[in-house]
Structure 1
Amino acid sequence: MRVADQIKQATAAAIRQLYQTDWQAADILVNETKPEFEGDYTVVLFAMVKQLKKSPDALGQELGSYLVAENPTLFTGFTLIKGFLNLTIADGFWLHFLAEAYPNAAYGQTAPRGEKVMVEYSSPNTNKPLHLGHLRNNFLGWSIA
């Protein structure tokens, strides 16, 4: 199961427990946190704020505190920035996740869909010097093929 899906399920369970409302995991938006902010994943609170009739700060504090307290193997902390709840994932969770994913040789691969895919290799003019753009396309072609 993807990390974002686990965060969605934990968040939906927290909302059901804290606010006694039926909230589905599919209704929760989870993104990777932008590099300039602290945290690993971000839960967007704006849709919840409207329905639960709470301020973003109050909802974020309550939800973040509950998630960290109830899921110590998944979360180690949180920060709240203007309606975004940034969650820090526990190191132990990553170790467990990698231990499960590593032995699975097919992890991350999708089943063939019967579609044709064209991979374009670069073919630079040999009479002109190569530059960084040529190398980029060469490496992209090799990594895909």
Structure 2
Amino acid sequence: MSIVAELKPVIVATLNDLYKQNFTEDNIAINITKPEFEGDYTLVLFSFIKQLKKKPEEIGDEIGKQLVSNYPQLITAYNVIKGFLNLSVNDNYWKQFLQQHYHQTELSIPEHVSRKIMLEYASPNTNKPLHLGHLRNIFWAGVYLKY
């Protein structure tokens, strides 16, 4: 299960608890936080403004406080920037995730993914030393595969 799939029900429960309205996972848009901002994942708040009749900064602050206090094993910190709630995932969550998947021998691809995925392996020249350019290409291929 992906972290986004784990975050969505938690956020829906938080929204329903805070605002006593019927939110669903279809109302939730979660993205990876841009590198220039603090946080791991970003909840887009604009879809809640009309329904809640509040400023996005207020909504984000209320949701963030509730998530940090009720789900500290998942969310450790938050910040609100212009209608976006940036969430920091607990380091222990990632450690637990790695421990659970460490011995997994097969690459798991979600069934709903219908596109082809190319998997590249690093094969540097054994007669030359590795340098930063090689490492950049190796790491970039891994990041590209992640998405």
Q: How does 1:8-19 map to 2 (within 5 A)?
A: 8-19=8-19
Match in the other structure for 2:39: 39
Corresponding residue for residue 7 of structure 2: 7
Q: Displacement of 1:116 after TM fit?
A: 8.8
- Which has more radius of gyration? 1
Is 1:95 aligned to 2:95, yes or no? Answer: yes
Cα distance change on mapping 1:79 and 1:39 into 2, 3 Å: same
Paired residue type of 2:63: L
Cα separation, partners in 2 of 1:107 and 1:70, compared to 1, 3 Å: farther
Instruction: Report what 2:24 is aligned to.
Output: 24
Aligned residues with identical type, % of pairs: 40
When normalised by structure 1's length, the TM-score is 0.74
Answer whether contact 1:101 1:107 (CA < 8 A) is retained. no
Stretches of structure 1 that go unaligned for 5 or more consecutive residues are 119-131
Say if 1:116 and 1:24 are closer, same or farther in 2 by CA, change over 3 A. Answer: closer
**When the two structures are superposed, what TM-score results if normalisation uses the length of structure 2?**
0.73
Gaps spanning 5+ residues in structure 2: where? 119-132
Letter of the aligned partner of 2:30 in structure 1? V
The alignment yields a C-alpha RMSD, in angstroms, of: 2.7
Amino acid at match of 1:17: D
